[in-house]
A and B are shown apart, each in its own frame.
Chain A
Amino acid sequence: KAGVTQTPRYLIKTRGQQVTLSCSPISGHRSVSWYQQTPGQGLQFLFEYFSETQRNKGNFPGRFSGRQFSNSRSEMNVSTLELGDSALYLCASSLVVGMNTEAFFGQGTRLTVV
């Protein structure tokens, strides 16, 4: 069974640009969550999608957005990039939504903003 696939693995962007990251969940999983990991702030929740609907949103500015497609694949977009957006972005998939549900993480996309 394939794991969670995130593409690309590495990305370098310039301030002011926008970027789209992709996540393919484990087959059969319908919930996808996104997290930002930085040395200073640690792991912070961005948003969660289930059945193409955003179910939860973290405390990030509107420049951060996401969506989920009918095949459960998800994308997140960051517009008007800032230096502080440099981070490892992790996607996690779960079978369903729920506090006891195990989340399976991808290897992440390392975004560097210069």
Chain B
Amino acid sequence: GNSVTQMEGPVTLSEEAFLTINCTYTATGYPSLFWYVQYPGEGLQLLLKATKADDKGSNKGFEATYRKETTSFHLEKGSVQVSDSAVYFCALSGGETSGSRLTFGEGTQLTVNP
């Protein structure tokens, strides 16, 4: 079945450092891929998405490219800010499941220090 694997966390960076959070997936066909962010005490917010191979999703300085050949969707940001501290979830829909059902990775806690 569908599955998503994220790099183990937590991740701690200094402000303005480069961020990479790895995400790989298992799914048949061509799933849609998402990154969601969760701030303390809040629900999830969609950060970016990509719906086909080689698509690049981007938002608020974050980017991720849908790599079919490596089944990956790594999240990157060139210069993180303290306000980026949150939990980041990689997710997919489609593949072996129908509808809008999302399969999530474990989440990666990011802490950015000033």
Contact = CB atoms under 8 A, between A and B. Distances in A.
Interface of B: 31-32, 36, 41-46, 49, 51, 89, 93-94, 97-107
A106 interface: yes
Name, among A31, A98, A106, the residue most crowded by chain B CB atoms within 10 Å (CB to CB): A98
Residues of B contacting A: mostly: loop
Interface of A: 4, 6, 31, 33, 35, 42-43, 45, 48, 50, 55-56, 58, 90, 92, 94, 97-108
Residues of A contacting B: mostly: strand
B45 A43 contact: no
A94 B100 contact: yes
Contacts of A50: 99
10 contacts: A4-B43, A35-B102, A42-B104, A48-B100, A56-B99, A90-B43, A92-B102, A97-B100, A102-B46, A105-B45
B49 A102 contact: yes
